[in-house]
């Protein structure tokens, strides 16, 4: 079955950087688009970033554009999110999410999430 395991969360000071990782297994990673979705404490879901199966397209929410970079290593079945210039409002649980297609459609499998706290 599909497994998505995030890591790399933690406490970071405002202005700092952090790199999230997601190890994927149980499906053909090279055939599917991948997303990062976040959820601030007690709040709703916010889409953050998307990468196509072949890395030909990367897209970002306006709130993170220019600060976050999504990437993937198809040889290792890994998804990444490099976060820089972090702000208090970036505090959230970050989910690694598998798309149901090569491009972008439904989000059919979610990891357990990793908590990022931006605080001094």
Site for another protein contains 95 (CB under 8 A): yes
The alpha carbon of residue 47 and the mean position of all alpha carbons in its chain are separated, in whole angstroms, by 9
Token pair listed for 51:
């990468």
* 104 contacts 48 by C-beta, under 8 angstroms: no
Among residues 113, 119, 83, which one has the least CA distance to residue 97? 113
**Smallest distance from another protein to CB 12, Å:** 23
27 binds another protein per the rule CB under 8 A: no
Residue of 107, 114, 116, 118 interacting with another protein (CB under 8 A) = 107
Site residues (vs another protein, CB under 8 A): 35, 44-47, 50, 59-62, 95, 100, 104-113
């Amino acid at each position: 079955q599909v497994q998505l395991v995030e890591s790399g969360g933690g406490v970071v000071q405002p202005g700092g950087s952090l790199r999230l990782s997601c190890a994927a297994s149980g499906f053909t990673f090279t055939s599917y688009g991948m997303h990062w979705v976040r959820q601030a404490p007690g709040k709703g879901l916010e889409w953050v970033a998307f990468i196509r199966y072949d890395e030909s397209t990367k897209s970002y929410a306006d709130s993170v554009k220019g600060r976050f970079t999504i990437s993937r290593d198809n040889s290792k079945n890994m998804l990444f999110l490099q976060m820089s210039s972090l702000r208090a409002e970036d505090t959230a649980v970050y989910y690694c999410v598998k798309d149901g297609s090569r491009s972008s459609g439904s989000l059919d499998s979610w990891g357990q999430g990793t908590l990022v706290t931006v605080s001094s």
